[in-house]
Amino acid sequence: MSKIINFDKNKNQDYRILDIEKQFEMLFNMPNGKSLALVILKELPEFELGVILEELAENKTEVVAKTLILVSENYEGAIKDLANELLLDFDRTDINIGAIREELLEVSDKIFKAAYISRTRLLGSLYLILIWQEKETENTVLQFFDISYTENGFKDCKSITIQKDEQEIEQVLNEVNMSLGSAFKISYKEAVYLIQESAKINVQNNLILPSGKTEYNQLLKERVNLTKNEKIKLLKRISEPLDKPYKTVNAFFNALKNKDLQALKYTTNDKPIYMNIIKKYDDNNYIMKFNVKGESVLKKGVKVKAYLFIDNEYYLNKVTYDFMLSEKSGEWYINKIKEKNTHKLSQDEEKEYLSQDFVVKVYNINDEDQIMENVFLNLDGEFDLEATMPKCIEKNDLDIIENGFDEKEFVKCIYVLTEKQFIFMTPYEEVAETLDVKYRDIKFKNIMTLKDGYYLPKSTIGYFLSGDFKTFDEMMEELNSISNIIEEDYYDEYTDLEGQFFSKEEYLEVRGKNLKGKDQFIYETLDVCSYIMDGNNIDNATIKKVLKETIPEVINFIRICERCPNGCLGRNKDSKVSFEQFIEEGLDIKDLPENIKETTGLNFFYLEYCTILANVIGRALSEINKYKEMHRDVASQIFYNTLDFISDNCYYCDTNCIDIWNNPLIRLN
């Protein structure tokens, strides 16, 4: 993993030390930055750390003092003594070492009791629970960690405190065990190692750690080292069993999509046969989904045929691969990968691929106790399920929806239990039919009653799982009120898509009819652009031509944004970010509308989006002789006026388009 600091010994020494100090100054100003700084320091051999500390200490600054205190409090032996010795020199400065030490140090008021973890490492994420006992009150504290080994890194940490009640603690632990899918215990040392490995990804990708969660800072400071053998054993324990060839291929593709090198090594038994495939799939050739289709038994093992669907920004490709696998100690590993052919999908094939619907069945609960005992606790194994989703209305379950079910064939169905309803949702007709027949049995009559059935796009399923709805009906009503879902057998009028210069029909002609919440935002901002061009005496025919050229560009930009690990449109839309790249290009923050001045992820997206609009339209006008001289002025007007519109209108309606970004503006019965 590349470090946030460049420790290249060939660099000029003075510059290297200044670079280190500058980077640590940035970290100490970030939420949980001191923990990240310690993670970086721990990666250094102690002999190199000693040299760096001596060189740093030549500059008597507060940043250097903080670094020395961190080392002093978290190391033993010679390196600790060196840090303390170097700190003595600060007595002759105005820097208050005592105050800095008090600010940095946190004393634990809890005793570690146990750690439980899910066996989901090959999916890219782990759900980890640490159990503590408060020293003073003897209450139990449960910390829930969502840690990822994809580009997202350490995503979330939540805590709950339970009064000293053994029965309540046991009940919570049973729910925890069920929600994690047969969680098992790991040691404190193993738990801390996994959290720190995930946090390193945040450092590498410049992602902010979950904010306001000071209770896990101490875990990032722990000095934990696992041997190579301990790491291998832990990886095997937390990974899904590769007991069938198709599971191994699924896990391989999932790791490839997540750029998860450790998981790729695991599925190939540490053979570097995946390197050529990794080089092919970058940000410009994005893996949208994959299918594993069929096995054939050969003398030396098993051959598995699989398909990758690749989005290269302009069209979709379907790539066919053959995998050769062999068995070792009851698990299947990939020995050879061969690319067979590549097929460019036609428009009809692409539409068919993109329109995968889910079958959803909603049951009203008649008997809460019976639903748990006879339905919910008997879900595992019905379809060779490795993961079931009880009351998992959490954002961390959305990966299954976002990536497509048939990437993980061992997940056939999602089950959700709300306060009032039991719901199952699956893209597989045969699974829906089997469950439908099962739950029609007379023994379920008094437990639950079928209320509704739906065919819905996966974006709507994702919206349901990301909310906290008591019933499925509540979610459907909210969608109706937010996005004007029209319940017709055919596409009807889009009442909100009314532009003076660019009609909804013209927009549909370019975009297609399967519109989402994002299209409301795109269409309204394009309408602003059309008024600006009209105000500059640009003729209607040119306005229409330019807007038609602009739509694919902004759609492509948005697709890239949706894949970006920074999450400006998702989990980090309210997080603090830097506008430095815009300032370096000449933007003065004082010139921005009031709502856009706040340095959040969402406003960063708005700035990038308006930049794209201005550049695309300005470039198009520059290619037309009679508008060539004005293209820069028009582009500038588009940038600032569109931001004004967003500030005055989007914030006024609480950015609803963003909240329903991938949800349909139309529901078809």
Give 394 or 535, the one with higher predicted confidence.
535
Rounded to whole angstroms, how far apart are CA atoms 260 and 249?
14
Nearest alpha-carbon partner for 448 in 408, 479, 420: 420
Strand bridging mode 154-162 / 140-148: antiparallel
Question: Which of 199-203, 236-240, 367-371, 510-514: highest mean pLDDT?
Answer: 236-240
Cβ-based neighbours of 59, under 8 Å, separated by 6 or more: 17, 21
Contact criterion met (CB below 8 Å) for 125 and 146: yes
Q: Is 298 helix (H, G, I), strand (E, B) or coil?
A: strand
Rounded to whole angstroms, how far apart are CA atoms 358 and 329?
37
Contact criterion met (CB below 8 Å) for 411 and 431: no
Rounded to whole angstroms, how far apart are CA atoms 272 and 211?
37
What CATH number was assigned to the domain covering residues 241-346?
Answer: 3.10.450.50
Q: Is 592 helix (H, G, I), strand (E, B) or coil?
A: coil
Nearest alpha-carbon partner for 254 in 395, 409, 360: 409
Rounded to whole angstroms, how far apart are CA atoms 357 and 54?
62
pLDDT at position 403 over 50: no
> In which band, very low, low, confident or very high, does the pLDDT at 104 lie, cut at 50, 70 and 90?
low
For residue 393, the model assigns a pLDDT of: 30
pLDDT at position 224 over 80: no
For residue 341, the model assigns a pLDDT of: 84
Residue type at position 637: Q
Q: What is the mean pLDDT of residues 357-365?
A: 83
Rounded to whole angstroms, how far apart are CA atoms 113 and 116?
11
Tokens in use for 158? 């939540």
Q: How much is the mean pLDDT over the chain? A: 74
b/e map of 100-118 (b: 16 or more CB within 10 Å)?
A: bbeebeeeeebeeeebbbb
Rounded to whole angstroms, how far apart are CA atoms 346 and 273?
31
Helix axes 46-56, 62-74, angle to 10 degrees: 150
- DSSP letter string, 322-387: EEEEEEETTEEEEEEEEEEEEEEPPHHHHHHHHT-EEEEEEEEES-HHHIIIIIGGG-TTTTS-S-
Tokens in use for 77? 């032996």
Residue 333 has phi, psi (to 5 degrees) of -125, 150
Which stretches of 515-579 are assigned E, i.e. beta strand? none
Cβ-based neighbours of 308, under 8 Å, separated by 6 or more: 253, 287, 290, 318, 319, 321
Q: What is the mean pLDDT of residues 613-617?
A: 90
Contact criterion met (CB below 8 Å) for 5 and 20: yes
Give 631 or 413, the one with higher predicted confidence.
631
Instruction: Tell me the percentage of the chain whose pLDDT exceeds 90.
Output: 4
pLDDT in tens, 90-99: 777 777 776 6
Tokens in use for 592? 């921005």
Q: What is the mean pLDDT of residues 383-407?
A: 34
For residue 459, the model assigns a pLDDT of: 64
Helix, strand, coil tally for the chain in percent (to 5): 50, 20, 30
> In which band, very low, low, confident or very high, does the pLDDT at 2 lie, cut at 50, 70 and 90?
very low
∠ CA 517-518-522, nearest 5°, is 130
Nearest alpha-carbon partner for 199 in 69, 344, 37, 327: 37
pTM of structure: 0.49
Contact criterion met (CB below 8 Å) for 456 and 360: yes
pLDDT in tens, 15-37: 344 567 777 777 776 656 676 77
∠ CA 36-39-40, nearest 5°, is 90
Q: What is the mean pLDDT of residues 82-103?
A: 77
End-to-end CA distance of the chain: 50
> How far lies 223's CA from each of 74, 80, 190, 193, 263, in Å?
7, 13, 12, 9, 24
Which stretches of 463-561 are assigned E, i.e. beta strand? 487-488
- DSSP letter string, 557-574: HHHHHHH-TT-TTTTTTT
- DSSP letter string, 471-495: SHHHHHHHHHHHH---EESS----T
